[in-house]
Structure 1
Amino acid sequence: MTEQELKTLTDEALIEKGKKAKTYAIINAVMIGVFVGVAIFSTYKKGMGFFTVFPLFFVFILLKSGQEYKVIERELKERNPR
Structure 2
Amino acid sequence: MKPESLSQLTDQELEIKLKSLKNNKIIDATLIGLSFGIVCYALINKGLGLFSILPIIFAYIVLRNSKNNKLLENEIQKEMNSRIIK
Q: Between Structure 1 and Structure 2, which shows a larger proportion of helix residues? A: 2
Name the larger-Rg structure. Answer: 2
Matched, 1:17 2:17: yes
Match of 2:48 in 1: 48
* TM-score, L = length of structure 2: 0.78
Matched, 1:72 2:65: no
Gaps of 5+ in 2: none
Gaps of 5+ in 1: none
Q: Which runs of 4+ in 1 moved over 6 A?
A: none
CA RMSD in angstroms comes to 1.8
Counterpart AA for 1:72:
L
Deviating more after overlay: 61-70 vs 12-21: 61-70
% identity of equivalent residues: 33
Deviating more after overlay: 71-80 vs 33-42: 71-80
